[in-house]
């Protein structure tokens, strides 16, 4: 059988991902890593060079004999990552091996609607690309709401008025002339943390984002699980108190209505105004606003009201996660998003509740840890997602 | 390349499962269904005949020309299914196509411990096999607690004292001289309902068992998801009321401590003794005991206390399921187990809460239905599980 007769797109994708994740390699190393015979490897590399995806690199370190030439991903490959948050835009441009080449973030309210937000995100990434003189090979996008992954449109996203069924993917694909994928922000964060963060070796895990809202990325057997309608992981709207405050989704007592950036600021403002917390009142008087960071700082300085707000929030998140641990039995939980900055106090409370409230078998070896990539998890994950996609169709 | 040089075990498994699920087929039909070339098909069938897994059957219906011979699974294939409940043993013997050939059920308390329960289950299935003069090809077992699937041992099962790390699989495999697989009862029920019940065409769904306890089988992409330690789906110990009664697991306010067969009987007894429900008191006086069925009958007769017990229970189950729907976004929820017999009243309450409390996107097309296989879901699923296993290693 002539091995080189037909291109093996699965094998090509595997080679491209290997070069992305392991860096430049000699043909001998590549063949070994991919479990691919030399003749077949050479045939696929020829094809990948023809379409401009790989190139010959420098020389490998000497092994005694003649030094072999390394194969590497083309230096023309550049991926864009756009992470749209409730109150921010963060964009990054990454090289073929997903090293960050340039990035920028700025405040932006997602509720200004898709035209304005996408125009600004497009400008930012276009400028980064132009400044470096590069063309984008693909763009990954994360948005803070449920997305129908197949057509890249948000669907009834509670905190994104005006975005329902807006063609985010097609609009950006037209503007940049390259493939674009759009997903829920927690899904891309889960991908990012799995690719290059604390969940690197972990194939079944939960990435819990606690930002303005609360969501959860689910990774099963190394792949994002999106559910039947693409809205799996929407844990911010799990009920934690039937008598709790009304949520943006219309129900009352949702986790997100009780904790998360928006709820924490609401409760901190109330504590400042009522005089219950003099340190919070002082900050409010100083700048006419309170942020989650202010609550964290007041807690660090020992203000019992601020400490209580964080502890109560952590307890509620912990109760929801304890239920999910009983249901899903993951091998790790990663906590990310803006409020992960509240650090140990929040984490300790979450851990305490989960370890106390789930079955021993499920928590015997369950690390609950902070995201390693922090604020860049989303943009990195979006780039991983789009590079996986581009590499699967060479 | 000589196609018949090496046996293709994946292809063989596919052929065996096709013959199990579709019944006797002509070679032409089989080749088409399996997408397998005629020469390869013939080579694999020769091998499967040699090891006694398939046989020539009758003639196919005429298509005009010569009538072709059908291929079918060997009539020597028989699978055993053992479904151990908290208070019952149910065993069945199935033929190669999983048609039930014989079955029997009797009351048995799982807490009598593994020696006594497994001895009795073994006797029952041995007698069924002896009476029909058959040898078992494999046995599947479901038990009401978490199981380490790889070695077939229960692990810290809350309602199964004495069963922790007991070698259920190895003991039965030795006794019957055939492969045995052991799994949590809800997992085998989920497999059964997916193979031959209401979830036949559904690959991502939840099977919720409400029996003495409450558990959940999770099917993802057509396969049981067991979690990292094999205890996924343990939703009976999700907290629903921090001030609720103490559970067998040691925590308080678990779903299972609030509803399920054991809790329902406890609450019904209290209502009978306090005089709150005269119909329940009457039944208690008549036979010195109350069963979940009694509560169902009193509710059907209009007793407001019995109705309230079922509604409250349904609401609590619904709240937990609403959270899981937000998290997992399944395409169907099937309700089974003994208390599914409470029927419409329970189902209506569960549906109401789930539809009201989950995001519209996740419930827009989410059937919540009763199990079609009912009490036999477990034994059927156990036989499907073991036949899948046997067919994957011919």
Q: Which fold has domain A78-193+377-391?
A: Nucleotidyltransferase; domain 5 (3.30.420)
Q: Which fold has domain A200-369?
A: Nucleotidyltransferase; domain 5 (3.30.420)
Give the A-side interface with B, CB within 8 Å.
1, 146, 155-156, 158, 204, 216, 218, 220, 225-235, 237-239, 249, 251, 319-320, 322-324, 326-331, 356-362, 364-365
Q: Which fold has domain B199-371?
A: Nucleotidyltransferase; domain 5 (3.30.420)
pLDDT of residue A10: 84
| Rounded average pLDDT over B200-218 | 94
pLDDT of residue A63: 66
Nearest Cβ partner for A231 among B225, B226, B329:
B329
Which residue on chain A is closest to B205 by alpha carbon? A228
Largest CA distance in chain A: 82
Contact state of B362 with A249 under an 8 Å Cβ cutoff: no
| Rounded average pLDDT over A192-207 | 94
Of the candidates A187, A184, A219, the residue with the CA atom closest to the CA atom of residue A333: A219
**What are the boundaries of each domain within chain A?**
9-57+66-73, 78-193+377-391, 200-369
| Rounded average pLDDT over A368-386 | 93
Q: How far is CA A60 from CA A29, A71, A75, B174, in A?
A: 10, 10, 18, 56
Residue A235 with chain B: CB contacts under 8 Å: 323, 326-327
- Span B275-323, pLDDT tens digits: 999 999 999 999 999 999 999 999 999 999 999 999 999 999 999 999 9
Which residue on chain B is closest to A254 by alpha carbon? B357
Contact state of A231 with B1 under an 8 Å Cβ cutoff: no
**CA A297/CA B317 separation, integer angstroms:** 40
> How many angstroms away from the CA of B323 is the closest CA of chain A?
5
Mutate to test the interface with A, among B164, B202, B203, B227 (most CBs of A within 10 A): B227
Which residue on chain A is closest to B325 by alpha carbon? A232
CATH class of B3-73: mainly alpha
More confident residue, B52 or B360: B52
- Span A222-237, pLDDT tens digits: 999 999 888 899 999 9
Q: How far is CA A232 from CA A30, A143, A145, A161, B324, in A?
A: 37, 14, 11, 20, 9
**CA B44/CA A291 separation, integer angstroms:** 68
Residue B223 has pLDDT above 80, yes or no: yes
**CA A145/CA A289 separation, integer angstroms:** 26
Residue B1 has pLDDT above 60, yes or no: no
Mutate to test the interface with A, among B164, B329, B363 (most CBs of A within 10 A): B329
Residue B331 with chain A: CB contacts under 8 Å: 228
Query: Which CATH code fits A9-57+66-73?
Result: 1.10.10.10
Residue B130 has pLDDT above 60, yes or no: yes
Phi, psi of A95 (to 5 degrees): -75, -175
- Computed over every residue of chain A, the mean pLDDT equals 92
Structure token digits, residue B189: 């029920």
- Span A269-324, pLDDT tens digits: 999 999 999 999 999 999 999 999 999 999 999 999 999 999 999 999 999 999 99
| Rounded average pLDDT over B153-169 | 93
pLDDT of residue A394: 60
Which residue on chain A is closest to B366 by alpha carbon? A228
Interface A–B counts its CB contacts (< 8 A) at 130
- Count of other CB atoms within 10 angstroms of residue B112: 12
| Rounded average pLDDT over A36-63 | 88
The answer to whether the Cα torsion of A313, A318, A324, A330 is positive or negative is positive
| Rounded average pLDDT over A80-90 | 94
User: Do A78-193+377-391 and A200-369 agree at the fold level?
Assistant: yes
> Whole-prediction pTM value?
0.87
Alpha carbons within 13 A on the beta-carbon side of B256: 24
Look at residue A71 and give its three-state secondary structure: strand
Contact state of B228 with A329 under an 8 Å Cβ cutoff: yes
**CA B335/CA A278 separation, integer angstroms:** 53
Of the candidates A151, A142, A145, the residue with the CA atom closest to the CA atom of residue A384: A142
Contact state of B146 with A359 under an 8 Å Cβ cutoff: yes
Pairing label, strands A78-84, A138-143: parallel
**CA A226/CA A246 separation, integer angstroms:** 27
């Amino acid at each position: 059988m002539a091995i080189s007769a037909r291109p093996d797109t699965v094998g090509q994708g595997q080679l491209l991902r290997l070069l992305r994740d392991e860096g430049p390699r000699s043909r001998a190393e590549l063949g070994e890593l991919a479990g691919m015979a030399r003749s077949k490897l050479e045939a696929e590399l020829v094809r990948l060079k023809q379409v401009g995806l790989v190139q010959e690199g420098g020389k490998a370190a000497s092994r005694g004999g003649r030094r072999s030439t390394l194969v590497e991903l083309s230096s023309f490959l550049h991926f864009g990552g756009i992470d749209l948050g409730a109150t921010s835009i963060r964009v990054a441009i990454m090289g073929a091996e997903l090293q960050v080449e340039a990035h920028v973030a700025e405040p932006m309210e997602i509720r200004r609607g898709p035209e304005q937000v996408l125009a600004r995100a497009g400008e930012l990434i276009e400028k980064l690309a132009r400044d470096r003189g590069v063309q984008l090979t693909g763009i990954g996008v994360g948005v803070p709401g449920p997305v129908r992954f197949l057509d890249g449109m948000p669907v009834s996203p509670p905190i994104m008025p005006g975005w329902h069924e807006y063609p985010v993917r097609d609009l950006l694909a037209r503007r940049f002339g390259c493939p674009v994928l759009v997903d829920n922000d927690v899904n891309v964060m889960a991908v990012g943390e799995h690719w290059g963060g604390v969940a690197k070796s972990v194939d079944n895990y939960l990435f819990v984002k606690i930002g303005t809202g609360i969501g959860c990325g689910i990774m099963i057997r190394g792949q994002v699980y999106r559910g039947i309608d693409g809205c799996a992981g929407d844990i911010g709207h799990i009920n934690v108190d039937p008598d709790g405050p009304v949520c943006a989704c219309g129900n009352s007592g949702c986790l997100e209505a009780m904790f998360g950036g928006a709820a924490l600021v609401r409760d901190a403002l109330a504590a400042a105004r009522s005089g219950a917390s003099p340190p919070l009142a002082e900050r409010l008087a100083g700048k006419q606003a309170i942020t989650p960071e202010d609550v964290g700082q007041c807690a660090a300085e020992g203000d019992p009201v601020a400490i209580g707000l964080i502890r109560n929030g952590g307890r509620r998140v912990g109760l929801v996660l304890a239920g999910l641990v009983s249901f899903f039995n993951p091998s790790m939980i990663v906590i990310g998003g803006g409020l992960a900055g509240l650090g140990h106090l929040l984490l300790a409370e979450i851990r305490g509740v989960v370890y106390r409230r789930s079955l021993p078998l499920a928590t015997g070896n369950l690390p609950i840890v902070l995201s390693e990539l922090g604020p860049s998890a989303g943009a990195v994950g979006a780039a991983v997602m789009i590079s996986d996609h581009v590499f699967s169709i060479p």
